Amino acid sequence: MTFAETLRSKRYWRLIITVLSVGIMIGPINNHLPSFLISIGYDPIFTAVVFSLFGGALIVGKLLAGAIIDRFGIIATNWYLFIMWGLALASAFLVDGSQAKAYLLTILIGLGNPILVKIFSTLTPYDIPWWCHR
């Protein structure tokens, strides 16, 4: 396939839209989680602890995503990661000053974040998510 053919391919543009959508939704959380928690009233020291927990959850999330890819394949891994992100975004609305809810949000973000870190290897043109095959 030539470069010109690739640019005319619908599958290519669906992949690009998917990658950009995921990047726009998930990317800012990595940098703005501490400021989000501080803006809704959490102590900056607690926020630093929570952000450190995010790093640990991200390590576990990457290992878990790799295990799911090896066992069930890329499509199942995409479903898992997008479900984790859906739960993380839903739990962001529940954070109200409770430390447990902040921990839950951070852990869910860490478990779902590998979709951003490994986006190109999990969303290859061979295994594009189901919504791109239409």
pLDDT digits 0-9 by tens, 93-132: 888 888 999 999 999 989 988 877 666 555 554 544 445 5
Cβ atoms 79, 29 nearer than 8 A: no
State the greatest distance between any 2 C-alpha atoms of the chain, in Å, as a whole number: 54
Q: Which of 106, 78, 80, 81 is nearest to 91 (CA)?
A: 106
DSSP secondary structure letters along 60-72:
HHHHHHHHHHHHH
Q: Which residue has the tokens 């852990």?
A: 107
- What mean pLDDT do residues 32-56 have? 91
Tokens of 122: 């999990």
| Domain spans in the chain, listed from the N-terminal domain onward | 37-132
Least confident of 40-44, 85-89, 125-129: 125-129
Query: Which of the two residues, 134 and 59, has the higher pLDDT score?
Result: 59
Tokens of 113: 């974040």
Tokens of 53: 């927990």
**Predicted TM-score of the model (pTM):** 0.75
Cβ atoms 15, 128 nearer than 8 A: yes
Q: Which of 83, 7, 6, 57 is nearest to 75 (CA)?
A: 83
Q: What is the CA radius of gyration of the chain?
A: 17
How far is the C-alpha of 47 from the C-alpha of 95, rounded, in Å? 13
Q: Which residue has the tokens 């951003």?
A: 116
